[in-house]
Amino acid sequence: MLTRKQHELICFINDRLDETGVSPSFEEMKEALDLKSKSGVHRLISALEERQFIRRLPNRARALEVLKMPERGIKTPSKSAPASAPRAAPQPANDVIEIPLHGRIAAGVPIEAFEGASMLSVPAALLGSGEHYALEVSGDSMVEAGILDGDYALIKRQDVARDGEIVVALIEESEATLKFFRREGAMVRLDPANRAYDPQRYAPAQVRVQGKLAGLLRRYD
């Protein structure tokens, strides 16, 4: 069952697609639902996508397809619509969303200390489903993975990880670090991407995964 806002959003998207063949922008959705920020739209879109009511068309920032409606089940063409008039393909756009920017990944400062600090505008095409936040990278321990000091790491919030994923790990509830996550016997190994640094090994109870790397933004001065 959808929430009221989710129901309002999918109806708005479906009506706009029926009228124009182009999905509405995040700004239009924000205004239609009277939301304060585009991040709220992103959360609603992600929830509808996870429940398989809509899907994002690949490689396009503004391209949504309604798979089903809550009242009618799987979406089918209207009987009154001519068979020779298919819906126009959604067109790409440069939509951006705002995600929390929690600060720099710094030794001795857990991520929670940065909650609600500021927001970062991010191209919607860089993010998939789920909840995201951003961190500013500090240091050179991941340079061989193309992650440089001052980059913005876009993190999908989750508390589990698979071997080989780049994660934000909170060590002993005090030090946040961005590293490759691997299991080594009964231990957790956090691998840097810089041969000047050694892997770090911890008991599983010492490490708490706080998300995995979903994308990267770089600023050029």
Report the alpha-carbon distance of residue 50 to residue 85 in Å, rounded.
30
> Catalytic: 179?
yes
Q: Which of the residues 30, 156, 179, 212 is marked catalytic? A: 179
Q: Name the catalytic one among 23, 39, 138, 141.
A: 141
Q: Which two tokens stand for residue 181?
A: 């996550």
Residue pair 213/175 in contact (Cβ under 8 Å)? The answer is no
141 is catalytic: yes
Count the Cβ atoms, other than its own, within 10 Å of residue 204.
10
Q: Of 150, 129, 132, whose CA–CA distance to 210 is shortest?
A: 132
Quickly count: other Cβ atoms within 10 Å of residue 48's Cβ: 23
- 157 φ/ψ angles, rounded to the nearest 5 degrees: -70, 120
CB 102 within 8 A of CB 114: yes
Residues with a catalytic annotation lie at 141, 179
